[in-house]
Amino acid sequence: MAYLVTLGQEEIERLAVQAGTVRLEPYWQFYEEVRIGYRGLPREEILPLLRQAAEWCGLDFTEADLREQADAVSEQRHYLFRVLVA
């Protein structure tokens, strides 16, 4: 048996954000640990950790995204995660 469900744009956006949050939450927690423990260290030491965590969480960050995150940790800057729903 199949059901037809009609969703408005608001519901679709909310569901997409929730789905993205499920994968992003463990990564965000790991990122916070790296941010605290590795701040000020060179990007080259931070980047492999973030890359491995992203792969483990099933996140498809670009290399540029990961470099930007590693730079933020290295330079002790805040980083705002952006989620693109396609």
* Residue located via tokens 């037809």: 4
Query: Which of 85, 31, 43, 45 lies closest to 68 in space, CA to CA?
Result: 43
pLDDT at residue 78 greater than cutoff 60: yes
Q: Given this model, what pLDDT does residue 1 score?
A: 56
pLDDT at residue 2 greater than cutoff 60: no
CA–CA separation, 29 vs 8, rounded Å? Answer: 32
pLDDT at residue 7 greater than cutoff 70: no
Please, what sign has the CA dihedral across residues 16, 19, 23, 26? positive
User: Per residue in 20-77, pLDDT tens?
Assistant: 666 778 888 999 999 999 999 999 999 999 999 999 988 888 999 999 999 999 999 9
